[in-house]
């Protein structure tokens, strides 16, 4: 998603500027062409040489802006060059300029001389962020469809204050940039309510033992990220997942569950309001027939574990689906993936199913990449080759449009 793409990073004057070095390095290593523009304030925290080294391109400042060393005005060249821009950290000062279309330095002139999507990552002291004037500017700038927001989050700030104002972490900014490069900044899912399930459910025998599977929930999380980046209102029902993974989501309603029964109840609760429902969770097929509220001694474990069936959530939703709703399933398969997926598509009354081979490299549980075959009720089939799970999520969403 980044190979050959042109990314322009605007660095504002804040302590969070040091984090942008990691972002720029990751972009360059992934094959993106990266250039940086530093404000005067940014240079109090990081140097142009640092960014020039990480970008493998010159890093520009206002000194370059006012020097007649280019055949065309620098801000015009940079603005036309960029496929996407990010401003991180976005200070209150630069935010105010963007809100009112002011341009008194290289960065703000470049923004006005460009037409690409602009990702804004604010960072400032909590009291500054909560000022009525700053919040007014923040709301005003987001009325312009060019601007997209990531963060801020809450946490311990450099001033030792605990509260809102912490800049989004580089992986979160990176994911949003990838989405903007895929969509061109279009919010083509705006107005849609999307319900997604993810993660592997746990069916407990006693308080410390359970039947489970290796699902990490990364695929469903990528679907939630992609849908939210494209303007959808997203609800994510998730089985136990790493807290760090969930922290990357912004603007997504999170519903934690553990067992298949809990996931079933949550999906039934939120299904009526959903336009699209995507069942990406790895839900257990069976559970222990009996549950002990106390840990069973090893000697008391049964040699043959009695099992009970778990309700088929996606099939139940298929029976409840209304004409305006779309229901999508996932099928993790080994060997022949098409025949079982087609059978599930018809039997469970799905509108589409995503079949992915978990016995192939770059696919399946735990990794950051996946591959699949998309099938729908109209007989369409589309192969999705090995790619990041975020890219696969976008491709699935595009196929559903």
Which run of H or of E encompasses 195?
strand 193-198
Which residues, in sequence order, are bridge partners of residue 280? none
212, 146, 150, 163: which is closest to 23 by C-alpha? 150
Largest CA distance in the chain: 83
Judge whether 262 and 239 are in contact, CB under 8 Å: no
Which run of H or of E encompasses 196?
strand 193-198
Q: Look at the block and give the residue holding tokens 């490299």.
A: 361
Catalytic residue chosen out of the listed positions 21, 55, 116, 159: 159
* 21 assigned to active site: no
CB atoms within 10 A of CB 213: 15
Residue length of the chain: 401
> CA-CA distance, 120 to 10, in Å (whole number)?
10
> CA-CA distance, 174 to 24, in Å (whole number)?
9
Q: Which residues are catalytic?
A: 159
């Amino acid at each position: 998603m980044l190979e050959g793409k042109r990314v322009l990073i605007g660095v504002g004057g804040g302590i969070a500027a040091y984090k942008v070095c990691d972002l720029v390095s990751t972009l360059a290593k992934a094959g993106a062409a990266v250039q940086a523009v530093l404000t005067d304030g940014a240079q109090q925290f990081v140097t142009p040489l640092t960014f020039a080294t990480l970008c493998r391109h010159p890093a520009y400042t206002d000194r370059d802006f006012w020097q007649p060393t280019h055949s065309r005005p620098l801000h015009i060249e940079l603005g036309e060059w960029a496929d996407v821009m990010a401003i991180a950290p976005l200070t209150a000062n630069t935010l105010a300029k963007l809100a009112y279309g002011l341009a008194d330095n290289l960065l703000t002139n470049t923004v006005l001389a460009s037409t690409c999507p602009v990702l804004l990552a604010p960072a400032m002291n909590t009291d500054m962020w909560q000022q009525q004037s700053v919040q007014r500017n923040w709301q005003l700038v987001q009325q312009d469809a060019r601007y997209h927001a990531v963060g801020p989050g809450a946490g311990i700030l450099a001033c030792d204050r605990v509260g809102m104002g912490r800049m989004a972490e580089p992986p979160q900014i990176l994911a949003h940039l990838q989405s903007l490069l895929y969509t061109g900044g279009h919010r083509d899912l705006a107005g849609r309510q999307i319900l997604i399930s993810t993660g592997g459910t746990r069916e407990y025998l006693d308080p410390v033992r359970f039947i489970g599977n290796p699902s990490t929930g990364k695929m469903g999380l990528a679907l939630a990220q992609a849908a939210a980046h494209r303007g959808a209102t997203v609800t994510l029902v998730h089985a136990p997942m790493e807290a760090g993974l969930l922290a990357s989501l912004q603007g997504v309603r999170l519903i934690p569950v553990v067992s298949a029964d809990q996931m079933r109840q949550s999906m039934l609760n939120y299904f009526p309001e959903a336009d699209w429902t995507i069942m990406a969770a790895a839900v257990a097929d069976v559970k222990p027939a009996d549950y002990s509220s106390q840990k069973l001694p090893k000697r008391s474990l049964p040699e043959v574990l009695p099992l009970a069936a778990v309700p088929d959530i996606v099939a139940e939703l298929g029976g409840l689906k209304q004409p305006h709703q779309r229901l999508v399933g996932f099928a993790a398969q080994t060997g022949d993936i098409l025949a079982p997926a087609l059978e599930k598509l018809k039997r469970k009354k799905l509108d589409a199913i995503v079949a992915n081979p978990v016995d192939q490299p770059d696919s399946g549980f735990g990794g950051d990449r996946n591959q699949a075959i998309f099938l729908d009720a109209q007989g369409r089939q589309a192969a999705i080759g090995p790619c990041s799970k975020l890219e696969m999520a976008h491709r699935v969403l595009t196929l559903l449009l």
